[in-house]
Amino acid sequence: MEMPGIARLLSLMLASLLLDSARGLHHASQRTFEIDYKHNRFLKDGQPFRYISGSIHYFRVPRFYWKDRLLKMKMAGLNAIQVYVPWNFHEPQPGQYQFSEDHDVEHFIQLAHELSLLVILRPGPYICAEWEMGGLPAWLLQNESIVLRSSDPGYLAVVDKWLGVILPKMKPLLYQNGGPIITVQVENEYGSYFTCDYDYLRLLQKRFRYHLGNDVILFTTDGAQHEMLQCGTLQGFYATVDFGPGANITNAFLIQRKYEPKGPLVNSEFYTGWLDHWGQPHSTVTIEAVVSSLHDILARGANVNLYMFIGGTNFAYWNGANMPYQAQPTSYDYDAPLSEAGDLTQKYFAVRDVIQKFQKVPEGPIPPSTPKFAYGKVALKKLKTVEESLNILCPTGPIKSLYPLTFIQVKQYFGFVLYRTTLPQDCSDPTPLSSPLSGVHDRAYVSVDGVPQGILDRSGVITLNITGKAGATLDLLVENMGRVNYGDYINDHKGLISNLTLNSSVLTDWMIFPLDTENAVRHLGGWHGNNSRCHGKACAYGSSNYTLPAFYVGNFSIPSEIPDLPQDTFITFPGWTKGQVWINGFNLGRYWPARGPQMTLFVPQHILVTSAPNTIIALELERAPCSDNYPKLCTVEFVDKPVISAAVTYSHPLQDVYNQHSGLDHI
């Protein structure tokens, strides 16, 4: 072919490509999602549309399982998912962002898009979600005068910076731009917070519009009570409500109608279950209550989001807490239609049957529950106490201070800090060590010269009698058990937040060790023996109820010749008391079988290997089933069924402010 012919052919191909591209852009610009106020409904591409959505938190489900869970949601008949974005999960240190692997929210949203699921986005900046500090980064508290969730300039400056990072990532994923995001929530249940700062909401509105444009629907969510919507919404936001089974549906939507006389009815959080606290019975909501209310909501033509459709897991230190102080456990199962491990439940099929009465559900097989494997018992040996591991846990050495410093002041946001001083007087007789202002946040494991003395606790144990000689070393290992995520007390400082007294005299001259457990676990994994030294009385019991906080290690192999292994499993802690556990360096979370209701921790298969032994490291804080004095074996066991609803051995009356808007108090 002659050169002019080739040129002509190339120009024709280019013209064709440009035409296709223009058609694509035209098609994207034709995509619309809007409110039809005249007919009280949404319009998607000009057609009437109602969403039936379910909540899933990508930060509580390993990326390995995102597609499995989303597909199960789709097969239940949902046409949308609702998802929070926790700021602290993506910006753990100021200006240091994490958006890869399990933090890859864009990939998660794209997966939903590939499965033809629409997305209701809830990017905060505050999210609640029973998540550490409601998703706000703890480092915000470095500004001691900060007023969270308000138009305080110090707070707004960092919020503005964060929104300038997250919202531009979301813009290409908006429905109008060819993505799946149909609506975006601003803040979260703001009407439940004391500030009631309309300037703050106006400033958020301005920033969301700046980054996302004027076409996307911005909405708010509040409990179905007048006083909550009064402070929770603003002109320019579409006001929605949340309520659970047992609530009066007519009244709840009448409250929405007071603020939105026209437009679609929306329950943004219809509770399929409820959250748990350590020491409280596992929360459940009956299938009958869920399906009855869900049917009534859908029969009114309302839009609904099921919170949660799958709860997932608070891995590592990510659980939240409520006031009066009660921490939430590692499991966020929520009694949802899909279990913590993504298993199909009776509630799943019952919900699917209700949805089927109102819209077509996809045909074809539902992905099955993942197989579980009981790997059996694994022996753990004591490695080192926390005290003996300080060179690894705190390689830079301690910070010295006349009075105790908080976690924030030593730039330690999660986990543990060791506070050390010496006894200024002889305490041969039991002498009261006290935190008069209840300043131990949240739990302190106390020892004198390596002899365990007992525990001080934010929830009520503010005095402990200790013994020891003048000049003896007093150690308090303080645990952050999770920051408050709801209500007026989310500015939750950790550590020793006020002075301790010994026999009414203030203790001074502290050495403070911020402990890097994640780094230490990487080092400790290579050790295999009992390297703990007994010096003096270091291995004696100060009380038969306690052993020193210490690391224990064990290994187990999964045969590579057995097909389909590894599989998901659950780890249980017979005879152990309270602590933290890692497998192959992955921080699974907290265990506390002595309190319950959660007895097993979910172990997803992707953290296990067949190519080498799997390493378990437990940091037992209170009492291990074995000790230096009694060489009984310490074992953990891998089982194939979860136990998250054991009888609790402790009860702390929780005046649950949460329930004020949930509707669950009617059940």
Q: Measuring CA to CA, which residue among 458, 394, 383, 382 is closest to residue 420?
A: 394
Q: Measuring CA to CA, which residue among 313, 496, 340, 341 is closest to residue 419?
A: 496
Q: Measuring CA to CA, which residue among 37, 42, 119 is closest to residue 78?
A: 119
The answer to whether the beta carbons of residues 149 and 195 sit under 8 Å apart is: yes
In the DSSP assignment, the letter for residue 279 is: T
Q: Measuring CA to CA, which residue among 642, 649, 444, 644 is closest to residue 549?
A: 444
Instruction: Indicate if 187 belongs to the active site.
Output: no
Rounded-to-integer distance, Cα 444 and Cα 451, Å: 14
Question: Active site residue: 91, 130, 132, 189, which one?
Answer: 189
DSSP codes joined into one string, 600-660:
EEEE-GGG--SSSPEEEEEEESS--S--SSS-PPEEEEEESS----PPPS-------GGGG
Instruction: Indicate if 144 belongs to the active site.
Output: no
247-252: which pairs have CB atoms within 8 A and are 24 or more residues apart?
247/293, 247/662, 247/663, 247/666, 249/293, 249/296, 249/297, 249/300, 251/224, 252/224, 252/663
The answer to whether the beta carbons of residues 604 and 598 sit under 8 Å apart is: no
Pairing outcome for strands 376-385 and 181-185: unpaired
DSSP helix/strand/coil, 113: helix
AA letter at 103: H
Whether cis (ω within 30° of 0) applies to the bond prior to 597 is: yes
How buried is residue 365: exposed, middle or buried, by Cβ count under 10 Å (0-12/13-18/19+)? exposed
DSSP codes joined into one string, 539-608:
TS-SSTT----EEEEEEE---TTSTT-S-BEEEE-TT--SEEEEETTEEEEEE-TTT-S--EEEE-GGG-
In the DSSP assignment, the letter for residue 61 is: S
Rounded-to-integer distance, Cα 598 and Cα 339, Å: 14
Phi-psi region of 567 (alpha: psi -120 to 50; beta: other; left: phi over 0): beta
Rounded-to-integer distance, Cα 338 and Cα 78, Å: 13
* β-sheet bridge partners, residue 380: 634
Computed over its alpha carbons, how large is the radius of gyration of the chain?
27
The answer to whether the beta carbons of residues 618 and 579 sit under 8 Å apart is: yes
DSSP codes joined into one string, 306-329:
EE-SB--B--TT-B-EETTTEE--
AA letter at 176: Q
Question: Active site residue: 269, 387, 479, 620, which one?
Answer: 269
Rounded-to-integer distance, Cα 596 and Cα 425, Å: 39
Supply the residues annotated as catalytic: 189, 269
